[in-house]
Amino acid sequence: EATSNASGVAGAYTLAVSNGALTTIVPPWPRSTLNGSLAGSDALSHGRSGPRADYYQLTGDGSTTITLNGSYPTGFDAYMYLYDSNLQPLAADDDSGGNGSDPGASRITYTLQSGQTYYVEATSNGAGATGGYTLSVSDGALAAVASPW
């Protein structure tokens, strides 16, 4: 990883190795992470009956596989949907992103098409659940939007 030691600093640099070769790789960490919060005043979930939801627009960045992680550290059980630009469901997940620290996390892995628009619905498995969460994507551009329905 090549980075500066101060925030907001940018510029050209040279990276050299004395033995071997350099290869550019896609970073293994998320390219975009947003913090959100489900509230009683949020839009209703389109995919589930009863829960509230937040919506995000995701723009494809090349034909690449992305992973969406809905990690809800406040303890409610996450549920996530991926829709295409015509709001047709492509994928959904309840708990496959879970681990010991967040057993209710959701994860969707899907191959995005370059320049195409997708929508992500971040919601809960049950009605009335509220609290903070983190939504991450490994590729593509992610932005919060109003309910597309």
- pLDDT tens column, 41-51: 999 999 999 99
β-sheet bridge partners, residue 81: 92, 121
Q: Which amino acid is at 113?
A: Q
CB atoms near residue 110 (< 10 Å): 14
β-sheet bridge partners, residue 98: none
CA count, 13 A, side-chain hemisphere, 106: 24
Provide the whole-model pTM. Answer: 0.73
Q: How confident is the model at residue 6 (pLDDT cuts 50, 70, 90)?
A: low
The whole-angstrom separation of Cα 27 and Cα 110 is: 17
User: Per the structure block, which two tokens stand in for 62?
Assistant: 């090349």
β-sheet bridge partners, residue 46: none
Rounded percentage of the chain residues whose pLDDT exceeds 90: 28
Three-class secondary structure of residue 22 per DSSP: coil
With CA atoms as reference, report the closest residue to 132 among 77, 73, 79, 80: 73
**pLDDT tens track for 21-76:** 765 554 444 567 788 888 899 999 999 999 999 999 998 876 555 555 554 555 67
Average predicted confidence (pLDDT) for the chain: 78
